[in-house]
Amino acid sequence: MNSKNALSTALLALLSGTAAAGGFQSVEQNASGLGTGHAGSAAVADNASTIFYNPAGMTRLPARQISLGVVGVLHDYEFHNQGSTGTGGNGGEAGQWRALPNAYLSWALSPEWVVGLGVSSPFSLHTRYDAGWRGRFQSVEAEVRSFNLNPSVAYKLSEKVSLGFGLNYQKIKVETAVDAGTGTLARTSADDTAWGWNAGALFSLSPAMRVGVAYRSALEYDLDRPVNLAAAPARAPRRQLDMPGTFTLSVWQQVSDRWEAMGDLSYTRWKDNAAFERDGWRFAWGAAYKYNEAWKSRFGISYDRTPVRNGDRTAQLPENYRIGFSIGAQYKPSQTAALDFGYTYQWMKDGRIDQRVGGNILRGEYEGSGHLLGVQYTQSF
């Protein structure tokens, strides 16, 4: 296989295959929601991170609030060979830790109008295999980084209904590395920016119950074709990368003085991407228990159905169905400050792979799991 074909195969597999699945799209844009598996994400609206999940929720916040946090993510994948043609080992544990920082600011201009600004990283990926492994022609390393700037506005129609809208300026960068067939790595790099939007509505059905609906729009990127970073730069035809829109329906319920319950249903239209024949669904349920004015505990469970079928799976991101088990806590040192912690363990269903690059076949099964750990500080003023 020549270097040019190796580069093209690596990036196209990453962009049109599994990389667009759930492990590439990150809903973990705060730590306060991590403890409940992000159940009730569009209805909870308890800090400024609601800008990402449902900007209408800003009308429930204090006059001014800032929230800063980071979520560490590790998706670990282990390959088990079952008839591959390549020589070498099984690649080790392919997942790599990556950080998803986030920052949000909301500011009330009047009792009805609120503006906000969010910074997040909605798409993220990093897999890396041992050198010389049997799937080195399919992938040695793949990394995706994104930056999202989200100015928003919310309007309180009444005590029961609020509306919100935001613009999203997003930058994405994709890097891959494969064995070029000469024992050396062929590297690719591509990036682009895109504009999108998000909107939502929050309905207070009673003092003890809220329902939120939210939508994040699709995004279209025109990425440059792969360029070998070790060689002289060269331009080539552009490649379009389509990220689908996501609709979310959430509910929050104050069950008693101490207990809260929340649920989430989200639908992602991956069929708009030609690489997929089915859409993605995510379900989450969670609860919180208030011990006293300073401490609150959280827990939740979630299920994420990837649009990737066995025949679509690639070594860049061998994603599959996931079930998440979440716990978290909140400590309030004062009425105006809060410190949130969250952790989620993700169990993944084993997934088959039969990926061919030239005459090289990677055939077997992937075993995967995930760990997500987050911390967040919120200050009202």
The tens digit of pLDDT for each residue in 293-313 reads 999 999 999 999 877 777 778
Position 294 scores a pLDDT of 97
Q: Mean pLDDT over residues 132-161, rounded?
A: 94
Position 235 scores a pLDDT of 35
| Contact criterion met (CB below 8 Å) for 223 and 191 | yes
Q: What is the C-alpha to C-alpha distance for residues 180 and 144, in angstroms, rounded to an integer?
A: 21
Domain span at 33 = 3-380
Most confidently modeled of 218-222, 356-360, 376-380?
376-380
Pick from 252, 278, 316, 310: nearest CA to 53: 252
Q: What is the C-alpha to C-alpha distance for residues 6 and 12, in angstroms, rounded to an integer?
A: 10
Position 174 scores a pLDDT of 85
The tens digit of pLDDT for each residue in 19-56 reads 344 557 789 999 999 999 999 999 999 999 999 999 99
**Domain tally, the chain:** 1
Which residues is 4 bridged to in the sheet?
Answer: none
CATH code, 108 = 2.40.160.60
The least confident of 194-198, 199-203, 220-224, 244-248 is: 220-224
Would you state the structure tokens that stand for residue 170, as one six-digit string?
Answer: 């997003």
Banded pLDDT at 74 (limits 50, 70, 90): very high
Q: What is the C-alpha to C-alpha distance for residues 360 and 119, in angstroms, rounded to an integer?
A: 42
Pick from 223, 162, 221, 220: nearest CA to 190: 223
Position 9 scores a pLDDT of 46
The tens digit of pLDDT for each residue in 169-197 reads 999 888 888 888 777 888 888 888 999 99
The tens digit of pLDDT for each residue in 97-124 reads 999 999 999 999 999 999 999 999 998 8
Q: Give the C-alpha distances (Å, rounded to integers) separating 320 from 145, 224, 336.
A: 21, 28, 41
Question: What is the chain's mean pLDDT, rounded?
Answer: 87
| Contact criterion met (CB below 8 Å) for 167 and 195 | yes
Residue 283, classed as helix, strand or coil, is: strand
